Amino acid sequence: MVEKTSATGVTRRTVLGTIVGGGAGLATGRLSTQGLAAPAAIDEAVALVQELTGKTPTVSDRVRLSMPAHFANGYTVPLTLTVASPMTDADHVRRVIVLAPRNPIVTVASFHFVPLRSEPRIATRIRLAEAQDVLALAEMNDGALLMARMHVDVATNGCE
Domains parsed from the chain with CATH numbers: 12-154 (2.60.40.2470)
Neighbouring CB atoms inside 10 A of 7's CB total 6
Tens of pLDDT along 88-103?
Answer: 999 999 999 999 999 9
Percent of the chain with pLDDT over 70: 75
Its pTM stands at 0.73
> How far is Cα 147 from Cα 103, in angstroms, rounded to an integer?
19
Q: What is the pLDDT of residue 9?
A: 52
Q: Which residue has the higher pLDDT, 57 or 21?
A: 57
Average pLDDT over residues 22-41: 49
pLDDT-based confidence at 78, cuts 50/70/90?
A: very high
